A and B are shown apart, each in its own frame.
Chain A
Amino acid sequence: MSPRALDKLTVRVRRLTKLARVVGLVTVLAVISPTASFAQSMPPSSSLDVPTTKLLAIGTFTAKGSPDQWKPLLPAEVRDTVRLYLAGKIDQWYLKQDQSGVVFMMNVTDPKEALELLGRFPFGQAGLMEFQIIPLGPIGPLRVLLTEPAK
Chain B
Amino acid sequence: MPDNKNPRVHAEILPALAAVVGPTTKILAIGSVTAKGTPEAIAPILPHEVRATVRNHLAGKIEQWFFQTEGYGVVFIVNAKSTAEAHELLEKLPLGVAGMMEFELIALGPLAPLAMLIGEPPRS
Chain B residue contacts of A75, Cβ below 8 A: 116
Residues A82-123 near B (CB distance < 8 A): 82, 93-99, 102-103, 105
- B117 engages A78 (CB within 8 Å): yes
| Interface of B (DSSP majority class) | mixed
Contact-residue bracket for chain B: 35 or more
Q: Tell me if B50 is interfacial: C-beta within 8 Å of chain A.
A: yes
- B65 engages A50 (CB within 8 Å): no
- A45 engages B68 (CB within 8 Å): no
Kindly identify which residue among B39, B50, B111 contacts A94, using a CB–CB cutoff of 8 Å: B111
Chain A residue contacts of B75, Cβ below 8 A: 56, 134, 136
Residues A104-151 near B (CB distance < 8 A): 105, 134-142, 144-145
Q: Give 16 CB contacts A-B under 8 Å.
A: A42-B72, A43-B43, A45-B39, A77-B113, A81-B111, A94-B28, A94-B110, A95-B109, A98-B106, A134-B30, A136-B68, A138-B67, A139-B53, A139-B65, A142-B54, A145-B50
In addition to A43-B42, A74-B116, A145-B51, 15 A-B residue pairs with Cβ atoms within 8 Å of each other are: A48-B67, A56-B28, A56-B66, A82-B114, A95-B22, A98-B107, A134-B68, A135-B69, A137-B66, A138-B66, A139-B53, A139-B65, A139-B66, A141-B50, A144-B50
